[in-house]
Structure formats: C-alpha cells, structure tokens
C-alpha cells in the first residue's frame, strides 16, 4: 500500500508509505492538525501538484482519519508527520484516487 509525501519546499512528491504524510508545517492559525488529530470526525484531503493543463496531478482521499501528529525536520524545514487512515466512503473501494489533467 502506497501513499504520497510532499517534500518540504520543493516540487517533489515521493510515493512512500500509505500510513504517514509528511508536510511542511503550516501556521497553526491556518490549519491546526493537532486539533484535527484529536477530533473524532473524518475529513477529506486533496493535494494538487502542477498548474498548467496536461501537467496537473490531483490526489484525493475522500475520508481521512488523522491518528496523530508529530513535529519533524525535513531538510532544515519544520515539518509535520501525519499518520492517517484512508477510509472508503459508503460507495466503497474509493479511499484513494489519483487524477491527471
């Protein structure tokens, strides 16, 4: 089972382990991932890479459950390690999709 990891301060995406996402740490006032990990509700996640037609990749996880958050350092940039579960919705077999446009 694979997942995506965005390397901090770059345009690189590495397919690694579908158990943890590593992101550049945002300002907590923008998004508080610590509060989201404690909450019991699931949310959806979407990552868009690229801007010009023919070079855009979108990764969608329609039902995401963050199971924890830890701080890290990725190449000198503050990062967050976000262990999560990608869960299917009631439609089934849709916990992760990759769309290229």
The pLDDT value given to residue 41: 86
Residue 32: Cβ within 10 Å count:
14
pLDDT digit string (tens) for 37-46? 898 888 888 8
The pLDDT value given to residue 7: 45
Q: Which residues of 35-49 are buried (b: 16+ CB within 10 A; e: fewer)?
A: ebbeeeebeebeeee
pLDDT digit string (tens) for 26-80? 888 888 989 988 988 888 888 898 999 999 999 999 998 888 999 999 888 899 9
In angstroms, the CA 79 to CA 65 distance is: 19
Task: Give the pLDDT mean for 83-95.
Answer: 88
Which residue in the block uniquely carries the two structure tokens 């390690």? Answer: 81
Q: Which residue from 43, 23, 52 is spatially nearest to 86, judged by alpha carbons?
A: 43
């Amino acid at each position: 089972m694979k997942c995506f990891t965005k390397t901090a301060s770059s345009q690189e995406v590495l397919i690694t382990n579908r158990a943890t996402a590593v992101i550049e740490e945002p300002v907590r006032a923008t998004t508080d991932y610590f509060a989201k990990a404690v909450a019991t509700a699931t949310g959806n996640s979407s990552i868009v890479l690229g801007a010009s037609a023919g070079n855009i990749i979108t990764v969608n996880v329609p039902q995401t459950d963050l199971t924890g958050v830890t701080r890290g350092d990725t190449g000198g940039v503050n990062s967050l390690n976000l262990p999560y579960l990608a869960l299917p919705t009631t439609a089934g077999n849709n916990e992760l999709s990759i769309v290229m446009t």
